[in-house]
Chain A
Amino acid sequence: MEAVLESGSVLETAPAALEGVPGWFNELRQAGWKRFGELPMPSRRDESWRFAKLGQLEFDGVHLAAEQPPPGHRGAPGLQKRAARFGFVNDTLTEEESNLPDGVICLPLKRAMAEHPELVRAHFMQRETKLGSAKFAALHQAHVSNGMFIHVAAGVEVEDPIEVFHWLEGDHIVAFPHTLVVTEANARVSVVDYFQSDQKARGAWAVAVNDLVAGPGSQLNYLVLQDLCDEARMIQVNTTTVDRDAAAKAFILNAGAAWARQESLSLLEGEGSRSDMLAVSIGRARQEYDQRTFQHHASPRTFSDLLYKNTLYDESRTVFSGLILVDEGAHYTDAYQTCRNLMMSDEAEANSMPGLEINADQVKCSHGSTASTIDEKELFYLEARGIPPQSARQLVAQGFSVEAIARLKNEALEELVLSFAAREFGRILGAS
């Protein structure tokens, strides 16, 4: 797998023109590269990088993959019942399977651009990155070569989830996974994005962008299962726009990676729209999860609810920075935000910055943030029933995560997330 040529860092590699893509796409890549050069690297003075370990932004020798991977499935077995499955290894398509109803476009980005150029162009990288990683979103734009484009026509409901696997393979490799999901009026779809890697993906990076566009009255569910190897890093920039009476639900599981930063922006654009933002992070060793969220209420009678639950073992560390912004005129808004940290070790560290900016009237908003350890009474209860202390702790910790997982309100997806979480807790229990 070792690359024969020792190429320079991806930060110094200008994108070459891709073949078989429209001209505008190559122009966009060039524009991204230019912008990447213009924007400064995050510094300690940036509020959006407060508490962040900037040393994690290490790109020395990180390069694009040169080899073509053989086809086949990599990573977790995934769901039994699924509407479609696509797999990418270092951004190259390696598997595809599809059993979708009419009215659904679910294609690798390259093919989608050829078959539906106007549709892709209308939605591709249309949103500004506001939560700190604009430079990395620009880097993504410069080097993005593939990804998933999912478009569900008005009134079409996709029963089973669509699965997308992003697999990193090789030393110091970088990939730019891209997932764009658009639902037209009253459509419904669930998409699961897996981010995984082989154990040799040392110093590897995933710089991902994910945009969700929920049309009027539609339902869009999106899951991220981040399970990279312990020496890989990831940035994911997400923007969700929710139109009138639509509902978007996003869930993030962090189990792997040395460092992962997720920026999630939910724009409640249409009256009566709703956004649920959920996350479960299980940190161990020296893992760090840095999550920045933004609940932007731009219309009246909008609703958002955020619940992030972190369980921190060993020397792991979390940063949560969340902002609820209620625009002038976005009256009768309900917005909630909760971040809870369960401290399982004396070396763990939790940072939270829950924020509110309210410019409207007749608003119900609240946020809460807590950090504490397991209640001795809960442990005693379990131990009294013959459960050894260590297992009891694990049980309580798993129960703590379940609150967020249960909000998925979809049995198959809940089971999928639980299987990842249980494996992670099992690993921690085994190691201790």
Chain B
Amino acid sequence: MSDAATLDAGTREAIDIDRSRGDFSYPESHKFDAGHGLSAATVDYICDVKEDPEWIREFRHKALATFEKKPMPTHWASKDLENIDFDRIRYYLSDGVRPTRSWDEVPDDVKETFERLGIPEQERAYLAGVEAQYDSEAAYSNVKEELEKDGVIFVNSTEGLHEHEEIFRPWFGKVIPTGDNKFSALNSAVFSGGSFIYVPKGVKVRHPLQAYFRINSENFGQFERTLIICDEGSEMTYMEGCTAPKFETTTLHSAVVELVAMKDAKLQYITVQNWSSNVFNLVTKRGIAHENAEVKWIDCNIGSRLTMKYPGVIMKGRKARGEVISIALANSGQHQDTGAKMIHAADETTSNVVSKSISVGEGRSTYRGQVHIPKHLKGCRNNTECDALLINADSRTDTYPAITVRGNQHATQHEASVSQVSEEMLFYLQQRGLNEGEAMSLAVNGFVNDLVREFPMEYSVELKRLIELEMEGSVG
């Protein structure tokens, strides 16, 4: 829209990704299919197909029992959750292809899907490694030699638990226990796919590691399980992005992501979520930061029907830091229920939460936060800022933080505001030749600009584009 006015042809071509091209799907060819519905037999089927070790089978069965026991959290969460029909969901599908190392071995139709999303080729050269997930198995993974040389492990979670059990097992399910919530229990019972990353002591991974996820089967839920461990003094950034083709019936996505930052490590996890608007995206994400370590979540939610996601950091060691930077955009028919959870468990730990949400049309965005500073700690600090922008008269926004502070040696502050794009601002921009829609789009991009800059360059370009697309037709 406003590109023509502000960008030259070359730049426009370079950044142009037509997101409407996400509206397609290919014939399904799954070798393994656990069928509809969830039972102990489903869990056994998954274990058999994936050749899980016995301890994982036990883990899955226990998780299934927990899932069945836990009630839906509808006493505080959206009643829309009741529309998930667990009996109509397929819990495991595989295209039967083992993760492959070279691009040439990836099946053509999968390749084409990625091609049309604009993922590989150009970006491949630029990015350290691509872990692309097609349905529940990683269809393609490419870890550069450089990473292997440094001893960095970047595989899918199945491979992680089979081949690196000594590193995988001590942390698996420890950051987020199975019983944390109903959906973490569900994930623990049926998980497949997702990444396992281990960065050895002192290794600083220069390029961000990426994984693209993609749902491509009707009624099919993805239950990725990601575990990332950064050993002492190491640094890495992980990027997760997703788009999904549109389906007619509901799709459930329920991932669990666990991060571990050992002493002095720095771990950054970036998500751009753009599921189609029939997806329930119910995700549990949490990190542990040990002494002087830093865990940072950068989270952007644009798609899905209902997203419930509250990335958390447990600051376990002295001087640990936790941060959540979050952007949410809710359009008509969408509810972005996001937030942050900061658990201070050691002295001099600091946390920062900055959340910006935009509600367009009849969209609803919600911020839920928890900050907990227990007794007998010294010098903990938290800063929370939530800003909401309402675009239309029917737009809706809610904020529900909860802050617990014990003791007098801490400082917390929480601020939230709700506002509109002022008529003066729109008038000013229209004076300079933009139409109302372009002016609104520019104002909204300005509102999130300071957060968008936190994203890596190619993501921030994509993000601005996505916001522009979402804003189309919101005014006038």
Measured CB to CB, the residues of A under 8 A from B are 45-47, 50-51, 328, 331, 341, 343-373
Known: A47-B75, A353-B401, A361-B393. 15 other contacts (CB 8 A): A45-B75, A51-B402, A346-B376, A346-B408, A348-B407, A351-B402, A355-B399, A355-B401, A356-B397, A359-B394, A361-B392, A366-B416, A368-B416, A369-B413, A370-B414
Main secondary structure of the interface of B (DSSP, over half): strand
Query: What's the least CB distance linking B48 to chain A, in Å?
Result: 38
Known: A366-B416, A368-B414, A369-B413. A358 touches B396 (CB 8 A): yes
User: Are the CB atoms of B405 and A354 closer together than 8 Å?
Assistant: no
User: Are the CB atoms of A341 and B416 closer together than 8 Å?
Assistant: no
CB contact between A358 and one of B398, B405, B411, B413 (< 8 Å): that residue? B398
The 4 closest A-B pairs by CB, nearest first: A343-B408, A371-B405, A356-B399, A361-B393
CB contact between B415 and one of A331, A350, A368 (< 8 Å): that residue? A368
Q: Is the C-beta of B302 less than 8 angstroms from some C-beta in chain A? A: no
- Please choose the segment from B15-23, B142-150, B303-311, B417-425 that sits at the chain A interface, where 4 or more of its residues have CB less than 8 A away: B417-425
User: Are the CB atoms of A370 and B401 closer together than 8 Å?
Assistant: no
User: Are the CB atoms of A353 and B416 closer together than 8 Å?
Assistant: no
A367–B420 alpha-carbon span in the complex (Å): 16
Q: What are 29 A-B pairs with beta-carbon distances under 8 A?
A: A46-B75, A47-B75, A331-B393, A343-B408, A345-B408, A347-B375, A348-B408, A349-B404, A349-B406, A350-B403, A352-B402, A352-B414, A353-B400, A353-B403, A354-B401, A355-B398, A356-B416, A358-B390, A358-B396, A361-B392, A361-B393, A361-B420, A363-B390, A365-B417, A365-B418, A366-B417, A369-B413, A371-B410, A373-B408
A328–B395 alpha-carbon span in the complex (Å): 9
The residue of chain B having its C-beta at the shortest distance from the C-beta of A333 within the complex is: B418
Q: Which of B361-413 contact A (CB under 8 A)?
A: 375-376, 388, 390, 392-413
User: Are the CB atoms of B412 and A354 closer together than 8 Å?
Assistant: no
Q: Is the C-beta of B55 less than 8 angstroms from some C-beta in chain A? A: no
Query: What's the least CB distance linking A131 to chain B, in Å?
Result: 15
With a cutoff of 8 Å between Cβ atoms, the chain B residues found around residue A364 in the complex are: 418-419
With a cutoff of 8 Å between Cβ atoms, the chain A residues found around residue B126 in the complex are: none
Query: What's the least CB distance linking A296 to chain B, in Å?
Result: 14
User: Are the CB atoms of B404 and A361 closer together than 8 Å?
Assistant: no
The residue of chain A having its C-beta at the shortest distance from the C-beta of B388 within the complex is: A358
User: Are the CB atoms of A372 and B412 closer together than 8 Å?
Assistant: yes
A349–B407 alpha-carbon span in the complex (Å): 6
User: Are the CB atoms of A344 and B405 closer together than 8 Å?
Assistant: no
The residue of chain A having its C-beta at the shortest distance from the C-beta of B372 within the complex is: A351
With a cutoff of 8 Å between Cβ atoms, the chain B residues found around residue A367 in the complex are: 399, 414-416
The residue of chain B having its C-beta at the shortest distance from the C-beta of A320 within the complex is: B403
A37–B408 alpha-carbon span in the complex (Å): 42
Query: What's the least CB distance linking A424 to chain B, in Å?
Result: 18
The residue of chain A having its C-beta at the shortest distance from the C-beta of B396 within the complex is: A359
Query: What's the least CB distance linking A205 to chain B, in Å?
Result: 27
CB contact between B403 and one of A46, A345, A351 (< 8 Å): that residue? A351
With a cutoff of 8 Å between Cβ atoms, the chain A residues found around residue B407 in the complex are: 343, 345-349
Known: A47-B76, A347-B406, A353-B400. A371 touches B416 (CB 8 A): no
Query: What's the least CB distance linking B350 to chain A, in Å?
Result: 14
User: Are the CB atoms of A356 and B418 closer together than 8 Å?
Assistant: yes
User: Are the CB atoms of A354 and B416 closer together than 8 Å?
Assistant: yes
The residue of chain A having its C-beta at the shortest distance from the C-beta of B386 within the complex is: A356
A62–B407 alpha-carbon span in the complex (Å): 34
A51–B394 alpha-carbon span in the complex (Å): 33
User: Are the CB atoms of A356 and B398 closer together than 8 Å?
Assistant: yes
A366–B419 alpha-carbon span in the complex (Å): 9
A356–B385 alpha-carbon span in the complex (Å): 13
The residue of chain B having its C-beta at the shortest distance from the C-beta of A355 within the complex is: B400
A137–B257 alpha-carbon span in the complex (Å): 45
Query: What's the least CB distance linking B74 to chain A, in Å?
Result: 11
Known: A368-B413, A368-B414. A358 touches B408 (CB 8 A): no
CB contact between B405 and one of A50, A328, A341, A361 (< 8 Å): that residue? A341
Q: Which of B375, B407, B417 has the most CB of A within 10 A?
A: B407
With a cutoff of 8 Å between Cβ atoms, the chain A residues found around residue B420 in the complex are: 361-363
A341–B412 alpha-carbon span in the complex (Å): 10
The residue of chain B having its C-beta at the shortest distance from the C-beta of A349 within the complex is: B406
A358–B390 alpha-carbon span in the complex (Å): 9
A261–B417 alpha-carbon span in the complex (Å): 27
With a cutoff of 8 Å between Cβ atoms, the chain A residues found around residue B417 in the complex are: 365-366
The residue of chain B having its C-beta at the shortest distance from the C-beta of A375 within the complex is: B411
Query: What's the least CB distance linking A33 to chain B, in Å?
Result: 27
With a cutoff of 8 Å between Cβ atoms, the chain B residues found around residue A343 in the complex are: 405, 407-408, 410
User: Are the CB atoms of B418 and A358 closer together than 8 Å?
Assistant: yes
A371–B377 alpha-carbon span in the complex (Å): 14
Query: What's the least CB distance linking B279 to chain A, in Å?
Result: 25
With a cutoff of 8 Å between Cβ atoms, the chain B residues found around residue A362 in the complex are: 420
With a cutoff of 8 Å between Cβ atoms, the chain A residues found around residue B409 in the complex are: 346, 373
A353–B392 alpha-carbon span in the complex (Å): 27
The residue of chain B having its C-beta at the shortest distance from the C-beta of A373 within the complex is: B408
Query: What's the least CB distance linking B310 to chain A, in Å?
Result: 15
A427–B405 alpha-carbon span in the complex (Å): 25
With a cutoff of 8 Å between Cβ atoms, the chain A residues found around residue B411 in the complex are: 370-373
A365–B399 alpha-carbon span in the complex (Å): 11
The residue of chain A having its C-beta at the shortest distance from the C-beta of B359 within the complex is: A358
Query: What's the least CB distance linking A184 to chain B, in Å?
Result: 34
Q: CB-CB contacts of B87-123 with A at 8 A, as 1s and 0s?
A: 0000000000000000000000000000000000000
With a cutoff of 8 Å between Cβ atoms, the chain B residues found around residue A346 in the complex are: 375-376, 406-409
A341–B408 alpha-carbon span in the complex (Å): 10
With a cutoff of 8 Å between Cβ atoms, the chain B residues found around residue A372 in the complex are: 410-413
Query: What's the least CB distance linking A323 to chain B, in Å?
Result: 8
Known: A358-B390, A358-B418, A370-B413. A353 touches B408 (CB 8 A): no
With a cutoff of 8 Å between Cβ atoms, the chain A residues found around residue B414 in the complex are: 352, 354, 367-370
User: Are the CB atoms of A371 and B396 closer together than 8 Å?
Assistant: no
User: Are the CB atoms of B403 and A352 closer together than 8 Å?
Assistant: yes
User: Are the CB atoms of A369 and B403 closer together than 8 Å?
Assistant: yes
With a cutoff of 8 Å between Cβ atoms, the chain B residues found around residue A373 in the complex are: 408-411
A362–B419 alpha-carbon span in the complex (Å): 7
With a cutoff of 8 Å between Cβ atoms, the chain B residues found around residue A366 in the complex are: 415-418
CB contact between A354 and one of B388, B399, B406 (< 8 Å): that residue? B399
Query: What's the least CB distance linking A342 to chain B, in Å?
Result: 8
A368–B414 alpha-carbon span in the complex (Å): 5
A348–B408 alpha-carbon span in the complex (Å): 7
A357–B78 alpha-carbon span in the complex (Å): 14
Query: What's the least CB distance linking A130 to chain B, in Å?
Result: 15
The residue of chain A having its C-beta at the shortest distance from the C-beta of B378 within the complex is: A346
A143–B413 alpha-carbon span in the complex (Å): 43
The residue of chain B having its C-beta at the shortest distance from the C-beta of A329 within the complex is: B393
A368–B402 alpha-carbon span in the complex (Å): 12
A51–B403 alpha-carbon span in the complex (Å): 10
Q: Which of B159-207 contact A (CB under 8 A)?
A: none
Query: What's the least CB distance linking B387 to chain A, in Å?
Result: 9
The residue of chain B having its C-beta at the shortest distance from the C-beta of A354 within the complex is: B401
